[in-house]
Amino acid sequence: MNPKTVAISLVAVVAVMAAVIIVTNLVPRNVADAEEAGPSEVPLRLLGPDGELAPAQNAARLHLNEDEWSKKLTSDQYYILRKAGTERAGTGALLKNKAEGLYVCAACSLPLFDSNTKFESGTGWPSFHTPVAKENVLDKKDVTLGMVRIENVCARCGGHLGHVFSDGPQPTGLRYCMNSESLRFVAKTDLKAEGEKMAKELEKEKSMPKVGDRLPEPELDAELAAATGEATAIFAGGCFWCTEAVFENVDGVTDVVSGYIGGKVKNPSYEAVCTGTTGHAEAIRLKYDPSKVTYGQLLRIHFATHNPTELNKQGPDKGTQYRTALFPTDDEQKNVAAAYIKQLDAAGEFSKSIATTIEPNDTFYVAEEYHQDFANNNPVHGYIRQVSDPKVKKLKEKFPEFLK
């Protein structure tokens, strides 16, 4: 190949790279929307109080809603970590850093890279050939920009870090091309203090009740009725297959129907609700005997068997149709619901604020027949096994006194 051809080829490559960088900065995506479903705990290698990397252990993933992330991070960090943006080449504060220490996640402090694996790649972004631990840096397929790349995300918080390419030095031959804004550098002399801080944070997290723990009884609740009767409660908390499966096992609940409520379209179909444009929530309508179980007790079970801190999502399901919401049928239920949310938040029962909304009791539209009693009719369905069954298991383990 003659020098002129080489020069033209290099110019073309640089132009393509520049276009990719520009488009990447113009079209960020939402990390929360792209985040895959996973267990609440994952194996991680954390920094110990002695300043050394500890063996892999199961640790809770860090889940915050986007409002909480925007308050915790700077605008640049939020743009990159949560929107998967890219900083301009050559502008990162850590690009030329040569000090000894660890590079940790700027969002959750998980150790990611050791300074001894950093090298000068000439690309304009901090580059490393090996993560500090394979558990801590996850690979994800990225098909944005009309190409297939491997994205790297933090295993603890899911934050976007950068991408990995196969043009790095030995011993791995890989180049982990990271954004400075996704990282925080901890000098070698500060590792012990960093590890002690992390240990305290983890202890605090462990002391927080997890979803599925026994929550306290409502301070405000109706007394059990003196005579047998029938009352109605309507709850939303993610996919109605799951909430239905939970309450079908509760003593005093005589009927559970899956349906849609809270939207602006009459007689919506499942397909329409799934678009997230009708305003409806997937919900269940319970008929219960108030002489056997109170509304407050049903609330207690509901809050313990779904995650009331997630905004417009529940586990793998994302969208306003999967919001956590209550639809009181009278003023007494409304007062009990508001008081219980306030009680749980004031006591810090969850590590984040409750996102559950209290909404008007609009028309409840019964869902299609194949949705009714779905878990019982489809016990080997993958979703039922992975998402619904664990919730029912929590009910049986944490609230045996409420079982039929």
Q: Among all chains, which residue has been given the structure tokens 């804004």?
A: 181
Q: How far is CA 86 from CA 20, 121, 151, 295, in A?
A: 10, 17, 12, 49
- What tokens appear for 196 in the block? 């002690």
Q: Report angle CA 148, 154, 190 to the nearest 5 degrees.
A: 140
3-state DSSP helix/strand/coil % of the chain, to nearest 5: 35, 20, 45
Residue ranges of E strands in 231-375: 231-237, 253-261, 281-288, 313-314, 317-318, 324-326, 357-358, 365-366
How far apart (Å, rounded) are the C-alpha atoms in residues 14 and 253?
Answer: 66
Q: Which residues of 383-404 are buried (b: 16+ CB within 10 A; e: fewer)?
A: bbeebbbbbbebbeebbeebee
Active site residue 239: yes
Residue identified by tokens 């009278």 is 330
SS3 175: strand
Given the residues 154, 157, 177, 242, the one annotated as active site = 177
**Choice among 108, 154, 157, 239 that is catalytic:** 239
Q: Is 154 a catalytic residue?
A: no
Active site residues: 177, 239
